Structures are given as structure tokens and as C-alpha cells.
A and B are shown apart, each in its own frame.
Chain A
Amino acid sequence: MKAFAELFDRLDRTTATNAKLAALVDYFRSVEPADAAWAVNFLTGKRLKRLVNTRELREWTALATGLPAWLIEDSYEQVGDLAETMHLLLPPGSGRASALGLAGLVENRITPLRDLDDEARRDAVMRLWQELDGSERFLFNKLLTGGFRVGVSKRLVTRALAEVAGVDSTLIAHRLMGRWQPTARAFQALIAPASEDDLDTATPYPFFLASPLEEGPGSLGDPADWQAEWKWDGIRAQLIRRGGQTWIWSRGEELMEGRFPEIEAAAEALPDGVVLDGEILAWRDDRPLPFAVLQKRIGRKKPGAATLAKAPVAFLAYDCLEWNGQDARETPLFQRLQHLDQALAAAAGLLRSAAVDFQRWTELDTCREGSRERGVEGLMLKRLSSPYRVGRTRGDWWKWKVEPFTFDGVLIYAQPGHGRRSGLFTDYTFAVHAGDELVPVAKAYSGLTQDEIDRLDRWIRNHTRERFGPVRSVDPVHVFELAFEGIQSSPRHKSGIALRFPRIHRWREDLSVGDADRLEDLKRLLDTRQRQ
């Protein structure tokens, strides 16, 4: 645990990418493979299943410190991070468990908590609180409460591993996909030299992600070099057909086994050794259904006949990453599209995300403006000569989204944020007028500058009306312009609506509460959307 805590400290104490890279390389080179495997697991954002709930952790902290529960809550509100709050409140530890490696801690001391009864679990956690200190205890708490961020991207971890292994980082990214598990053997395979068959047959390719096009496509050069497609509002997915078996992976690297039986059935007709990239959508009569319909399917492991009928889905393929069992990612897009057509010719149940025809960039403006009526988010622009790259590499794939919807809402609740924003009131709830009332319609936490956040934080502290746990209600004074991507009716919300991806556009200090929007204005959008 000592080595991992030192790595954490090194990463935490610099903003320089090269210094972080060096810290990661040093760590991976020096520790046991089993420890390194778990480090890869956590640094790439994977978490342990929750073994202890936060209510218990708070109780045990009270027990270990002799402090009243309310004071622990007040402290948490100031710190903004429960793992850190507990660490700061607990008396100094002995550091005796410092010799334990990361794998030893996770496998011998943390995962076994699952099988203990309440009292034994409490004793085990409290013993570790006594035996760990400093960053080690903080990290232990982080593992107990979920994941942690240290300002390293998955891509940076991949680069460090590539340097350790002496292979290309795209290979590392590929090896980390899919069913990768944190074991010593898996880590050794991860940093092994390149070989023909070091990948599991279910392993997907790393996804290539488009970058947002801010200015319009005029600067992209000759339109003939580009293909335009609709940007679908569904689940990005990879469909694998190898060795007579099918796997569907989401972009979040989740295996969607059994969730989309109609897609799995259609994929059986694909030739062997084919991997397609595309989008899963709720789909009927040649057009997408609202995202809310797809949501009915996302959580269902084994959908029944009624669900299948109510929320039918389709796979719209737009790229072919593997053809004839060969990795096709280096071949240019126009060739991959030919493979895609061949593959889909055999599998009629899978759809092709068709190209949008255009000669001049100006024609695309009109297409993009019609996106909402079509139920798409905008356009994708892809360079026909480009390979299929890894991650968010700029230059060949652009997403050109329609302008978002906006409304003016009133700040009514605030609560402290987490991570970098810890201890500041940064999570806000906004309301609109409904009759004489203000009804909450959106929660948002991004979009303000640090100065604005600081200023608003001070204001919130001085204008609190009531407290409900960490949440404070504030005087309804400040108006903000919020953007969102979509709207749907929601009986669960008091307002009767739910907004997709709400975020703060700007603080409208020029507006007063009376100028904020009304619920009817938002509901009108709902009506136009549902009429389509």
C-alpha cells in the first residue's frame, strides 16, 4: 500500500503530464504484478462493488472519534468528500499495515468484508483505520466508498503501460478492453510483447470518439473528402461476431449479454470474423423513437415479450473494424464501408446508418437544422481516407451538434460538490415558475467559472433559508440560463418533466426572478417533441 500511496502523492502533486507519466512508469516497473494489476484497475476508473454503506461508515467514524454525528456531517459538508473527512477525523494510525501490498489489501482485507456479519465488518474496518495512516488510509477509504480520481486519464495510464511494455499504446488500449481482470497474470499479459493471439475472442476494439466541431465545417477542406452521417442519440456499441458467437459491448465497456435479443439474433447471419461499430436505438417504422423509450431497455437483463413489443430496438452500423478475422482499422474509411456493406448484405436484420448526401458544405447547414425533427443530435463528419483511431483523437471524426435548447431558471437549492469542487456549494437545483410557485426542473453543476463559483458559494452561505442534510435552500434571487438536449414527460418529478443533460450556460445577473421562464414554456417543447 505504501508504493501505491506514494504513486498517488506523486500524481496528486503535479499538473505536468510528463511528471505524471514518469510516476506511473516508475510505479509499474517497481511493484509486484498483482499490485500493478489493481492499480491499473483503479486508475482506469473501475471500482470495487460497494461492501460497506456510507451510513455505517459514518457511525463507525463517530465510534472511533467520539464525535457526535452532526459534527461529522458538518465536517463532511466542509470537506466535501466522505473518504477524506473520515481520514481527517480519525486519530492518527500506526502505519503498521503499510507493508501490505495493494493486492493484499484489496484481496485479503477488503473483498472478504462481503462475507462478514455487521459487527465483524465494523471491527475489520476499524482495525484498518488504526493500522493505516496518511494517504494510505485516505486511499483505503476511497476504495471503500467507490472510486477515486487523481487527474490521470485512462489514456495516460495506457501510455505509461506502453512505455513499460515497449509496445504501441493502441495495443495496450485494446488489451485493456472487455473482460480484463486485475490479476498478476493479466498484468503480465498486458505488458507482454506483441503476439498474434494474446486477445480473448470477446475483446472489443477501443472506440474512436469524435471531437466537437465548434465553428462549422467550412475549414475542413474539400467536401468530397468527407462523409456526413446523422448523429444518433442512442447507445454507442460494438457488435462482435467471432467463432460462431456474438458479443455486444457498450462504449462504457459493459457486455450487453441478453439485453438486446433481436440484435443478437440478427447478428447470427453475419459472416464470421466481423466487428461492427454502430449505435443501438429504439426504432420503429424507419425512424428512431425518443431516448426515453430506449431507457426502458437499458436496465432490462432479459426483456419479456411485452417490453420487446413496446420498445423495439435496432443496431445501426456505421463502421467495420474487423473483416475476415483481420483487424481492418488501418484501412481507410471508404474501404471499411465497403466491408460494412458486404457484411450487412448477409445480415438483413441489422441496419446501415446511411450517409447524408451533400455536395457543398452549405447544404449541410439545412440538414443539421432539421436534426430535431428527425430525432437525431446533429451530424457526424468523417474523413473518408482516415483509419479508425483510438479514443478522442482530433482531426478525422467530428460531431456537429444542433444548438441546445435553453431556458432561464432560478437557483433554489445548493449542495456541496465533490472531488475538485469539494467543500464549495457547486451542485445547484433550478426552478421555473408554475402559477405562484417555483418548481424545480433541473440539477446542474457545470458551466460556471471558478470566480463565479466562489462568489456564488459565499452568497449561498449567507442566504441559506433551510438545511436538509447537505442541501440548503436559498433565497430565490439568482437567474441562470441553462442549456439542455432534450425533454421528456416524467410523472416521477413534481414538474412532470425531465430534461436531458442540463448545464449552466451563464449567470444572468441582468435578470430578476420574475424574468425566469414558466413551466408552460418548457411543456410546450414537450408537446412539439411528442407530436413528431
Chain B
Amino acid sequence: MLRPDAGGLYCAAGDFWIDPLKPVPRAVITHAHADHARSGAGEYFTAREGLPVLAHRVGDGGDFNAVDYGQPFELGETRVTLFPAGHILGSATVRVESEHGTWGVSGDFKRAPDPTCALFQPFDCDVWMTECTFGLPVYRWPATEQVVGEVLDWWQDCIDAGRPAVLFCYALGKAQRLLAELADRAPRPIWLHGAMQPLTECYREQGILMADTQTVSEAGKGYKFSGDLVLAPPSAAGSPWMRRFPRHSSGFVSGWMRIRGNRRRRGYDRGFVMSDHADWPDLIRTVTDMQAERVITIHGSGEALAGYLREQGIAAESWNLRATLSRSEPA
């Protein structure tokens, strides 16, 4: 019913694409991250809560359709329903029903609670297409509460030492999740890199409660940021912008920080293991919860998970959606 195309998936029965990376007439978008949402589609379908962020990311040019979670809508010969994915605000998994059966497609998802978005909701399907960003058993997340505690302890150490604490994290989703986790625990306002400010406003406008923030560009000249927490996207690391924070301690919040070499190679002082993706146990738990007879891994290196599931007696395979990008590219 679905096949890889345009960097995403194409459904012929409904004549629509899920998360295409190239311009298509009609796109169902799971969430606004750049590896799932691109500008140029004729028509967009996305979860209502995700619309403001998506519009901010892909521009106002498209024709947007806001869809409520759990409310089926017709596309061609299919019935499509979006369910909360628990990944970022407005993120969704897609259920496609037709006479060929029921398919579930994840964009990205996680199972841990997140104050900025609705909890992942499983549904029954025949085929479950699962993301597999962290598809190895070494990826196992500690409880969010513990990691937030580690971040606060580190911030306190920086306050004691009078140093800026620069915390790198993705600008959409992770930054706001952190701000929400810190809402009533931050000892002082948190500084934001300019790239994070508009997205954070999007979240605030939808009523997400977050810690007070200021934008770094608003700070007075010569302000030292001693003991202040600054959130910045990973791309800012090593850039001239960092000169604003002499003697800073740096941290990175990401599932990749589970592995020591990843942190040391990038030269971060601290790694905080918090991810908006499912870890290995949750990838497997979700396969069980979706009751699917067949599993297809997408987004990430899914061979290991597919191989493991096969050994457990589940029909599983791995698809590389990216391959369709170079294949259809004109030479």
C-alpha cells in the first residue's frame, strides 16, 4: 500500500505522500523537523497542534489542513488518522486504512512523558513502519527526572564557579521540552540562542508552560553570563558566537550522549542522555503494542532491529527511504 518515494512514502490508493523531502502535490506531515517536512508541497495535512510550528518551518506558501488526533479523514480510496507520537508538539503517527489493510507509519516517536506534547498512543495495525534512530540495545534512556536533576546539578556547579553553562540541544522540540521541565525549577531566567526564540514563542502561544527566557542578543554589551544557563543549537558550537561566553562549561542533551566517544569527540564537557526518540526497549515494546504482523524499519539504521525481530518470529525488514532521493534525481 505504501512504497518509498521522494525521500518519504507514497500511497497510491490515496495519492498522497508521507513526509516527502521533495515537492509533491499532497503531503501528510508527521512533524516539522527538517528530515520530515519540506516546503513546496501543494497541500499539507498535519496535526492541529503541529500547524503553527510547521507553517513557521516551511513558510506560508502551502495549503494547510489541520487535522485532529484520532479523527479519520478520507484521502482517495483510503481513510487516514493521525495519532499522538509523543515526539514534539503536534507530532503524529499515521494510520492508513484501505481495502489492502491497515498500515501504521511513524515519523519519530517516544514513549516517555513530555510536558510539551501528548503521550504516544498505540493503535492496532497490520504493518508497523517504525523509526529506528536508536536501533541498538546500547541505547537505553535513564528516567527524565534523573537527567533533569543532572542538568540542574551541573547548572548549580556553574553558578558556584561563576561560569556560563552553555547547553546545546535541538532548537525545535528538545529546547522547549527542557524549558518546560525546568519551568518551576530554574533558579533564574534562561538565555536562548536567536534560532530558538521564535519556535519557543510558537510553543508559548499554544499554552505550553515553560521557564522564563531571554534572547542572547538582548543582553547588554560586556554582560558576562556568569552562572547563567544558555540554550543553543549544536550548530553554534565552535562558532564565533560562542565568544560571548568566556570560561563556559558546555553540555549536550541528546540520546547520542549515551556513548562516551560521541561526547568526547565533539568536545562537550557534559553529555545528558535525553532523547525525543524511543530507545531500544521502547522500540520493541511498541512493536508489541501495535500488534502488527509485519514490521518495517525506516529512518535510521534499522537492520539490527529488523534482524532481532525476525529472530523473535516477527516478519521484519528494513527500508531505506533516502535511496529514493538519489535514484529519481536527474543526472
* A interface, CB within 8 angstroms of B: 12-15, 65, 67-68, 70-71, 74-75, 78-81, 84-85, 88-89, 419-424, 450
Closest A residue by C-beta to B161: A19
Closest 3 CB pairs of A and B: A422-B261, A88-B138, A75-B138
B270 to A13, Cβ gap below 8 A? yes
A81 to B137, Cβ gap below 8 A? no
Q: A15 vs B265: C-alpha distance in the bound complex, in angstroms? A: 12
With A13-B270, A71-B304 known as contacts, the answer to whether A81 contacts B136 (CB < 8 A) is no
A421 to B261, Cβ gap below 8 A? yes
A420 to B265, Cβ gap below 8 A? yes
A71 to B308, Cβ gap below 8 A? yes
With A13-B270, A15-B267 known as contacts, the answer to whether A68 contacts B308 (CB < 8 A) is yes
B138 to A450, Cβ gap below 8 A? no
With A71-B304, A88-B138 known as contacts, the answer to whether A78 contacts B259 (CB < 8 A) is yes
Determine the chain A residues whose CB is within 8 A of the CB of B308 once the complex forms.
68, 71
Q: List 19 A-B contacts (CB under 8 A).
A: A12-B260, A13-B270, A15-B267, A68-B311, A71-B137, A71-B308, A75-B137, A75-B138, A78-B136, A78-B138, A79-B259, A84-B259, A88-B140, A88-B258, A89-B138, A420-B261, A422-B260, A423-B261, A424-B265
Q: A61 vs B283: C-alpha distance in the bound complex, in angstroms? A: 21
Determine the chain B residues whose CB is within 8 A of the CB of A422 once the complex forms.
259-261
B166 CB to closest chain A CB, in angstroms? 14
Question: Of A74, A85, A424, A450, which is within 8 A of B304 by CB?
Answer: A74
Q: A297 vs B331: C-alpha distance in the bound complex, in angstroms? A: 60
Contacting residues of chain B (265-324) with chain A, CB-CB under 8 angstroms: 265, 267, 269-270, 304, 307-308, 311
B307 to A71, Cβ gap below 8 A? yes
Say whether B264 faces chain A, with CB atoms less than 8 Å apart: yes
B304 to A423, Cβ gap below 8 A? no
Determine the chain B residues whose CB is within 8 A of the CB of A88 once the complex forms.
138, 140, 258-259
B284 CB to closest chain A CB, in angstroms? 12
Question: Of B140, B259, B307, which is within 8 A of A423 by CB?
Answer: B259
A81 to B261, Cβ gap below 8 A? yes
Determine the chain A residues whose CB is within 8 A of the CB of B249 once the complex forms.
14
A268 CB to closest chain B CB, in angstroms? 50
Using A68-B311, A419-B261, A421-B265 as known contacts, list a sample of 5 further A-B pairs with CB atoms less than 8 Å apart, ordered by residue number in A. A68-B308, A71-B304, A74-B304, A78-B138, A85-B138
A450 to B136, Cβ gap below 8 A? no
Closest B residue by C-beta to A419: B261
Q: A422 vs B259: C-alpha distance in the bound complex, in angstroms? A: 9
Q: A13 vs B269: C-alpha distance in the bound complex, in angstroms? A: 5
Determine the chain B residues whose CB is within 8 A of the CB of A67 once the complex forms.
137
- Residue from B137, B258, B260, B307 with most neighbouring chain A CB atoms (10 Å): B260
Say whether B214 faces chain A, with CB atoms less than 8 Å apart: no
B261 to A79, Cβ gap below 8 A? yes
Determine the chain B residues whose CB is within 8 A of the CB of A84 once the complex forms.
259-261
Closest A residue by C-beta to B251: A13
Say whether B206 faces chain A, with CB atoms less than 8 Å apart: no
Determine the chain B residues whose CB is within 8 A of the CB of A89 once the complex forms.
137-138
Determine the chain B residues whose CB is within 8 A of the CB of A70 once the complex forms.
307
Say whether B262 faces chain A, with CB atoms less than 8 Å apart: yes
Q: A75 vs B135: C-alpha distance in the bound complex, in angstroms? A: 10
Q: A65 vs B137: C-alpha distance in the bound complex, in angstroms? A: 10
A6 CB to closest chain B CB, in angstroms? 13
* B interface, CB within 8 angstroms of A: 136-138, 140, 249, 258-262, 264-265, 267, 269-270, 304, 307-308, 311
B267 to A81, Cβ gap below 8 A? no
Determine the chain A residues whose CB is within 8 A of the CB of B136 once the complex forms.
71, 74-75, 78
Q: A74 vs B267: C-alpha distance in the bound complex, in angstroms? A: 25
Q: A13 vs B249: C-alpha distance in the bound complex, in angstroms? A: 9
Q: A360 vs B304: C-alpha distance in the bound complex, in angstroms? A: 66
B269 to A14, Cβ gap below 8 A? yes
Closest A residue by C-beta to B258: A88
A383 CB to closest chain B CB, in angstroms? 37
Q: A420 vs B260: C-alpha distance in the bound complex, in angstroms? A: 8
Determine the chain B residues whose CB is within 8 A of the CB of A450 once the complex forms.
265
Determine the chain B residues whose CB is within 8 A of the CB of A424 once the complex forms.
261, 265
Q: A12 vs B260: C-alpha distance in the bound complex, in angstroms? A: 9
B260 CB to closest chain A CB, in angstroms? 6
Q: A71 vs B267: C-alpha distance in the bound complex, in angstroms? A: 29
Q: A12 vs B267: C-alpha distance in the bound complex, in angstroms? A: 11
Q: A15 vs B268: C-alpha distance in the bound complex, in angstroms? A: 9
- Residue from A65, A71, A80 with most neighbouring chain B CB atoms (10 Å): A71
Determine the chain B residues whose CB is within 8 A of the CB of A423 once the complex forms.
259, 261-262
Q: A240 vs B137: C-alpha distance in the bound complex, in angstroms? A: 54
Q: A78 vs B269: C-alpha distance in the bound complex, in angstroms? A: 21
Q: A13 vs B154: C-alpha distance in the bound complex, in angstroms? A: 11
A81 CB to closest chain B CB, in angstroms? 7
B288 CB to closest chain A CB, in angstroms? 16
B169 CB to closest chain A CB, in angstroms? 18
B307 to A15, Cβ gap below 8 A? no
Q: A421 vs B267: C-alpha distance in the bound complex, in angstroms? A: 12
With A15-B269, A71-B307 known as contacts, the answer to whether A80 contacts B137 (CB < 8 A) is no
B138 to A79, Cβ gap below 8 A? yes
Q: A89 vs B311: C-alpha distance in the bound complex, in angstroms? A: 18
Q: A85 vs B311: C-alpha distance in the bound complex, in angstroms? A: 22
Q: A65 vs B264: C-alpha distance in the bound complex, in angstroms? A: 27
Determine the chain A residues whose CB is within 8 A of the CB of B262 once the complex forms.
423
Determine the chain A residues whose CB is within 8 A of the CB of B311 once the complex forms.
68
Determine the chain B residues whose CB is within 8 A of the CB of A13 once the complex forms.
269-270
A385 CB to closest chain B CB, in angstroms? 40
Q: A450 vs B264: C-alpha distance in the bound complex, in angstroms? A: 12
- Residue from B137, B249, B308 with most neighbouring chain A CB atoms (10 Å): B137
Determine the chain B residues whose CB is within 8 A of the CB of A14 once the complex forms.
249, 269
A153 CB to closest chain B CB, in angstroms? 16
Q: A68 vs B309: C-alpha distance in the bound complex, in angstroms? A: 11
Determine the chain B residues whose CB is within 8 A of the CB of A420 once the complex forms.
261, 264-265
Determine the chain B residues whose CB is within 8 A of the CB of A421 once the complex forms.
261, 265
Q: A421 vs B260: C-alpha distance in the bound complex, in angstroms? A: 10
- Residue from B138, B258, B270, B304 with most neighbouring chain A CB atoms (10 Å): B138
A15 CB to closest chain B CB, in angstroms? 7
Determine the chain A residues whose CB is within 8 A of the CB of B265 once the complex forms.
420-421, 424, 450
A451 CB to closest chain B CB, in angstroms? 11
Q: A423 vs B264: C-alpha distance in the bound complex, in angstroms? A: 12
Determine the chain B residues whose CB is within 8 A of the CB of A75 once the complex forms.
136-138
Closest B residue by C-beta to A453: B265
Q: A12 vs B137: C-alpha distance in the bound complex, in angstroms? A: 24
Closest B residue by C-beta to A76: B138
Q: A224 vs B108: C-alpha distance in the bound complex, in angstroms? A: 71
Q: A518 vs B138: C-alpha distance in the bound complex, in angstroms? A: 43
Q: A389 vs B267: C-alpha distance in the bound complex, in angstroms? A: 32
Determine the chain A residues whose CB is within 8 A of the CB of B261 once the complex forms.
79-81, 84, 419-424
Q: A79 vs B140: C-alpha distance in the bound complex, in angstroms? A: 13
Closest A residue by C-beta to B322: A462
Determine the chain A residues whose CB is within 8 A of the CB of B258 once the complex forms.
88
Determine the chain B residues whose CB is within 8 A of the CB of A68 once the complex forms.
308, 311
- Residue from B249, B265, B307 with most neighbouring chain A CB atoms (10 Å): B265
Q: A15 vs B249: C-alpha distance in the bound complex, in angstroms? A: 10
Determine the chain A residues whose CB is within 8 A of the CB of B138 once the complex forms.
75, 78-79, 85, 88-89
B199 CB to closest chain A CB, in angstroms? 27
Q: A99 vs B307: C-alpha distance in the bound complex, in angstroms? A: 40
Q: A422 vs B264: C-alpha distance in the bound complex, in angstroms? A: 10
Determine the chain A residues whose CB is within 8 A of the CB of B140 once the complex forms.
88
B323 CB to closest chain A CB, in angstroms? 10
Closest A residue by C-beta to B247: A16
Determine the chain A residues whose CB is within 8 A of the CB of B270 once the complex forms.
13
Closest A residue by C-beta to B261: A422
B271 CB to closest chain A CB, in angstroms? 9
Determine the chain B residues whose CB is within 8 A of the CB of A71 once the complex forms.
136-137, 304, 307-308
